Amino acid sequence: MPQIPEKIHELTVGQLSARSGAAVSALHFYESKGLISSRRTSGNQRRYSRDTLRRVAFVRAAQRVGLPLVTIGEALAQLPEGRTPTREDWARLSENWREVLDERIHQLVRLRDNLDHCIGCGCLSLKACALSNPDDTHGDHISGSRL
């Protein structure tokens, strides 16, 4: 991983890409969604503050666990401007996601435990499916293939 001297306070998009592991196109996308920001030089080139590395790492980690970009953006909006977020800042944000992640883990465990049955059962029934409709909870509200 290329090292960037401490005296450099702003990164080019190429440096940010190399250090973060995110493609340049992904960085531009994150910027278009307001997840990161840059300033423009007189030559219209993007320059990112060093703390953007942590923000990109945060975005990528949150995406890996399946959090939507809107949720990630809401969290990043709570971070301080003008300083590198602290460990406490990140801990506060991640604590807010604990319930969402716990539910996702529960769903993945249920998928893992029922997958062998589901592949072999061939029921093609959303009414009886242990994964899509456990205990026919949707049967009281809707019918058909709207699940």
Question: In the prediction, which pLDDT does 140 show?
Answer: 61
Question: In the prediction, which pLDDT does 120 show?
Answer: 56
The alpha carbon of residue 12 and the mean position of all alpha carbons in its chain are separated, in whole angstroms, by 23
* Mean pLDDT, range 71-97, rounded to an integer: 78
Closest among 77, 29, 85 to 53, alpha carbons compared: 85
Q: What percent of the chain has pLDDT over 90?
A: 29
DSSP string, the chain: -----TT--EE-HHHHHHHH---HHHHHHHHHTTSS--EE-TT--EEEETTHHHHHHHHHHHHHTT--HHHHHHHHTTSPSSSPPPHHHHHHHHHHTHHHHHHHHHHHHHHHHHHHHHHHH----TTT-TTTSGGGTTTTT--STT-
Whether 147 shows a pLDDT value over 50: the answer reads no
Whether 138 shows a pLDDT value over 60: the answer reads no
Q: Taken in order 51, 55, 56, 61, is the CA torsion positive or negative?
A: positive
Mean pLDDT, all residues of the chain: 79
* Mean pLDDT, range 105-130, rounded to an integer: 69
Question: In the prediction, which pLDDT does 18 show?
Answer: 94
The model's confidence at residue 33, banded by pLDDT at 50, 70 and 90, is: very high
Q: What percent of the chain has pLDDT over 70?
A: 70
Is pLDDT larger for residue 81 or for residue 100? 100
Question: In the prediction, which pLDDT does 92 show?
Answer: 82
Closest among 75, 77, 105 to 92, alpha carbons compared: 75
